Amino acid sequence: MTAPTTWLDQARDAHRRGDIVAETTALDGAIRADRSNIAALLAMAELKRRIMDDRAAGSFYRLALATAAQARSVHAALHPGLQRAEAFVAATERAFADHLLAQLGAAGIDRGTAPPRVAQALRMLAGEQALYLQQPGMFYFPGLAQRPFFDRSEFEWAPVLEAATDTIRNELLALIEGAADRFAPYVTASADRPPPNNPLLDKPDWGAAWLWKDGAVADGMDRLCPATLAALELTPQPVIPNRAPIAFFSRLMPGTHIQPHHGLLNTRLICHLPLIIPTGCGLRVGAEMREWREGELLIFDDSIEHEAWNRGTDDRTILLFEIWRPDIDTDEREQLTRIFAAIDTYGEQ
């Protein structure tokens, strides 16, 4: 009888003989030689399931799934095994969550009454909530708290701005009713840059009427919206040549969905002052969803994945502006201002 020559032959021969040690040795050798060997990973996972070592089986299944996700192509013969892997991982994650919650319940820990951070950690541990972190597209400043939303009560200027809501809304309505429409598509392309891959490109569905743009008051807005600009002066807006402040009335038409995305910087917070809010509108930042309430600021970190929608029947309009993060001190703000100014001067003649 000819001795098996490949790891697969050796593993199959050992399996037929019921020799678990030899089968494990053959599969382990194949995996050590090539950690991207999906077939060997799946075979090892199946072996671990047969000997009732579900935790080990899950580890090999997860590695096989991750490897397949990164592969350029996966042979069709492996598809059934990968489907079994997905089903097994999903089932074991549900079983783990049930076990975890039962054990914690017996210990008197309930997610409904646990402190918010403990409750969030438990949801992530149970696989019920994804982990969302700051992922700015241009500049990352280290050491900042990973918080999707900031409470309005943390900002001493917030009540004064909110008290101006009616006045700001009146200026908005006058702007809308005026002869010159100030709203234009928010997502646009520059003549000398590739167009953004955004379904809202050049569409009025997401419109902006700029108050501050690229660090300057938009043309005529000092005459049309003086009270709004005065209210914005109360806020700690970044002042960076040709970049900031920025502020605009943001309008979402019915049926509009701003798809999940990340902002450019984590050094700022985005503020929304809701002005005209129909039912069916919402905002998700990370794992948290909020609804706008007229006159109540929403303040969030847009470097964390976020999206917004208007599922109502009328336009949703807010005042949008940015502020420095409160956990960046004065000296750091000055240094960051110089950094951003230096970035913007690159390539100038």
**Predicted pLDDT of residue 308:** 94
**Predicted pLDDT of residue 335:** 94
| Ranges of residues in the chain whose predicted pLDDT is under 70 | 1-5, 111, 179-180, 191-193, 346-349
Please write the tens of the pLDDT for every residue from 18-49. Answer: 889 998 998 888 888 888 889 999 999 999 98
**Predicted pLDDT of residue 204:** 87
**Predicted pLDDT of residue 180:** 65
Nearest to 291 by CA among 268, 263, 272, 266: 272
Report how far residue 190's alpha carbon sits from residue 33's, in angstroms, rounded to the nearest whole number: 50
Which burial class, exposed, middle or buried, applies to 76 when counting CB atoms under 10 A from its CB (0-12, 13-18, 19+)? exposed
State the Cα angle at 255 between 190 and 218, rounded to 5°: 40
**Predicted pLDDT of residue 1:** 44
**Predicted pLDDT of residue 3:** 52
Report how far residue 39's alpha carbon sits from residue 228's, in angstroms, rounded to the nearest whole number: 64
> C-alpha 35: how far from its chain's center?
31
Please write the tens of the pLDDT for every residue from 247-294. Answer: 999 999 999 999 999 999 999 999 999 999 999 999 999 989 999 999
Its pTM stands at 0.74
